[in-house]
């Protein structure tokens, strides 16, 4: 879970780029009863308890700017201080669980995944769980597993949580999640929505000791009331083990006729591989960037590539979908081994990626993207190449709660690369039916892989054959293909638009740049390009507006600043 890193010198091709990760501590154990806690966490606070929570809030607000590398990278200091002051005033009217959730909301304003208050991690929070496990599949929010008393609910689609739609419930949970991108929301929101304290604090439930869900099974809806059944399970730091079966619970896939898919075969094993003779493929699952007691990751890498050289292996498949980080210093032998391998060729090297691929495993994605011919398959990753990380703990003096803050900024991508994740080259999302039947769409996509035309080539050909209208049509066709759902399109659109600018067709370039801004509204490059096209079209008013928007997203960009000065000249 924790993206703790020490310095890693990746000595491959680039000659010494810094990347990295550090080892985090092991899983925490539950502590003593905390400030203001009751058996159910209910009841407003006494005056003395309220003052202690205010002191904790003050300590948090004072310490976070001291430790975080750049606490105000997505919000202003004034916004932070207003949020703190607002909660301080409200604390006497809140219950313990509401204070914790509101503090988590403030911390989540920072806008990075390693800065958080985590009910899924901190034993001092001690929230409870409902008798169901939720998951956001491709086709919606589902009850993935349930205790035996509620076995009939396994596989039901969640339509409403309390009075809110499933989408609205996820949106409310989003606001208390420290996140690098929206895939972190897809990972954490289902876990939080299984905690009655969170549901009550987010006004998704009117009662602290029960919650109502409207679910749909076989086209029929019903409303059920669920009560807590004990403490919520805590997540380990570096591997997604939420898929492991729980004693006394039933799982949606329990009745599957097909065997267990490889990605669920051995999640507790940090790294292992299996040869698939019929496909002449080597499946390698790395669930943590760490060493075992019996084998280091470096020794495993040697053994892995020795097997590749000695056997008829035509595809090398790395599965990182359960890998939530570890120690990035350990990656070098694995990465250099991949680069040297006979399988570092287009269509022979694959990495399976998902929402749990985060922290030090994001480093591995960055290195694979830069230095190899990898094909990414699955979902977008849970982090990105330019991100804040290496969280450090702030322990609040009275409650003992942990606030984590990021102390470093890692820039593995170019400064102008504003992608929110590593996108898959082939989208292969897990549906509830896939899971029920033990099917793995990512492995199927690898088995069926065939080279695909790049969007840049498609747009360039369309501009030559039919101009900008045909290019727009080809773009829409490309995006409509399911494997391209998360495809990175900005670079291709910018290149195509630049071609039109070079051909002195700024009005035509505008069409592509407007589309790019719609597709990538958080990219300063989108508005820079729009401003340039307006400028060359003679519309300086619109040029100024877009250059200003670009600078709002990237205030220190010299090129945009200079162009803005020119656009403002009479």
Q: In what order do the strands lie in the sheet with 271-276?
A: 271-276, 281-286, 315-319, 349-353, 375-378, 426-427
Return the pLDDT at 33: 35
In the chain, list all ranges with CATH 3.90.226.10: 262-384+419-447
Please give the full DSSP string across 247-311, using - where no structure is assigned: TTEEETTTT-SSPPPGGGT-TTSSEEEEEETTTTEEEEEE--BS--SS--HHHHHHHHHHHHHHS
Element (H, E) at 408: strand 402-411
d(CA 118, CA 128): 13
Q: Give the per-residue pLDDT at 43.
A: 77
Phi-psi region of 347 (alpha: psi -120 to 50; beta: other; left: phi over 0): left
CA 203 to each of CA 191, 341, 369, 421: distance values in angstroms, whole numbers, following the listed order: 17, 54, 42, 31
Instruction: Tell me the C-alpha distance between 557 and 311, whole Å.
Output: 51
Do the Cβ atoms of 347 and 376 come closer than 8 Å? no
Alpha-carbon dihedral sign for residues 345, 240, 4, 302: negative
CA distance 123 to 142: 26
CATH, domain range 262-384+419-447: 3.90.226.10
pTM above 0.85, yes or no: yes
Contact 157, 208 (CB under 8 A): no
| CA-closest candidate to residue 375, choices 441, 303, 442, 284 | 442
Stretches where the chain sits below pLDDT 70 are: 1-42
Cα dihedral 241, 247, 252, 256, rounded to 10, equals 100
Q: Is 17 left (phi over 0), alpha (psi -120 to 50) or beta?
A: beta
How far, in Å, are 27, 399, 520 from residue 500 at the CA level? 55, 60, 20
Q: CATH 2.30.42.10 occupies which residues in the chain?
A: 28-235
Please state, in angstroms and as integers, the Cα–Cα distance from residue 62 to each residue in 101, 112, 129, following that order: 19, 19, 32
Please name the residue that has the structure tokens 């002191």.
Answer: 55
**Sign, Cα dihedral of 114, 115, 120, 121:** positive
CATH of domain 28-235: 2.30.42.10
CA-CA distance, 7 to 523, in Å (whole number)? 29
Fold of 455-568: 1.25.40
pLDDT at res. 355: 98
> What is the pLDDT at residue 424?
98
Q: Where in the chain is the domain with CATH 1.25.40.10?
A: 455-568
Q: Tokens at residue 313, please? A: 């292996």
């Amino acid at each position: 879970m924790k993206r703790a890193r020490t310095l890693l010198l990746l000595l491959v091709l680039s000659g010494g780029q810094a990347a990295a990760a550090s080892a985090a501590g092991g899983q925490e154990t539950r502590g003593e009863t905390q400030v203001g806690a009751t058996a159910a966490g209910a009841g407003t606070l006494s005056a003395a308890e309220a003052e202690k929570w205010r002191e904790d809030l003050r300590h948090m607000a004072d310490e976070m700017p001291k430790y975080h590398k750049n606490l105000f990278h997505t919000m202003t200091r004034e916004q932070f201080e207003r949020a703190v002051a607002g909660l301080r005033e409200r604390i006497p009217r809140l219950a313990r669980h509401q204070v914790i959730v509101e503090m988590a909301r403030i911390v989540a304003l920072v806008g990075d995944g390693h800065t958080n208050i985590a009910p899924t991690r901190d034993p001092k929070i001690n929230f409870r769980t409902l008798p169901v496990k939720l998951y956001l599949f491709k086709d919606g929010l589902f009850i993935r597993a349930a205790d035996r008393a509620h076995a009939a609910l396994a596989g039901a689609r969640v339509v409403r949580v309390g009075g809110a739609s499933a989408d609205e419930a996820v949106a409310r949970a989003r606001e208390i999640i420290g996140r690098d991108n929206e895939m972190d929301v897809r990972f954490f929101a289902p876990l939080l929505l299984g905690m009655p304290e969170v549901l009550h604090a987010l006004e998704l439930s009117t009662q602290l000791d029960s919650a109502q869900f409207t679910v749909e099974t076989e086209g029929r809806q019903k409303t059920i009331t669920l009560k807590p059944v004990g403490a919520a399970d805590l997540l380990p730091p570096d591997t997604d083990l939420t898929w492991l079966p729980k004693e006394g619970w039933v799982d949606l896939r329990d009745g599957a006729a097909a065997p267990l898919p490889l990605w669920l075969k051995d999640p507790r094993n940090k790294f292992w591989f299996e040869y698939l003779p019929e496909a002449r493929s080597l499946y390698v699952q790395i669930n943590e960037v760490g060493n075992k007691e019996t084998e280091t990751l470096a020794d495993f890498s040697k053994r892995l590539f020795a097997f590749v050289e000695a056997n008829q292996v035509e595809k090398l498949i790395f599965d990182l979908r359960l890998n939530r980080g570890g120690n990035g210093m350990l990656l070098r032998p694995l990465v250099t081994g991949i680069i040297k391998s006979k399988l570092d060729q287009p269509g022979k090297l694959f990495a399976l990626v998902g929402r749990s691929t985060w922290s030090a495993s994001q480093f591995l994605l960055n290195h694979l993207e830069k230095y190899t011919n990898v094909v990414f398959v699955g979902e977008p990753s849970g982090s990105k190449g330019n991100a804040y990380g290496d969280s450090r703990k702030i322990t609040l003096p009275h409650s003992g709660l942990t606030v984590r803050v990021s102390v470093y900024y890692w820039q593995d991508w170019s400064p102008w690369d504003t992608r929110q994740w590593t996108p898959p080259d082939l989208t292969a999302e897990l549906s509830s039916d896939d899971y029920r039947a033990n099917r793995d769409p990512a492995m199927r996509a690898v088995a069926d892989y065939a080279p695909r035309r790049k969007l840049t080539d498609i747009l360039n050909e369309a501009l030559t054959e039919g101009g900008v209208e045909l290019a727009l049509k080809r773009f829409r066709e490309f995006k409509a293909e399911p494997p391209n759902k998360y495809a990175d399109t900005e670079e291709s659109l910018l290149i195509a638009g630049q071609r039109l600018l070079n051909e002195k067709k700024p009005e035509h370039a505008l069409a592509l740049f407007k589309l790019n801004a719609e597709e990538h509204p958080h990219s300063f490059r989108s508005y820079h390009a729009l401003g340039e096209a307006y400028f060359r079209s003679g519309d300086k008013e619109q040029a100024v507006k877009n250059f200003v928007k670009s600078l709002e997203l990237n205030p220190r960009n010299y090129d945009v600043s200079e162009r803005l000065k020119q656009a403002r000249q009479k």
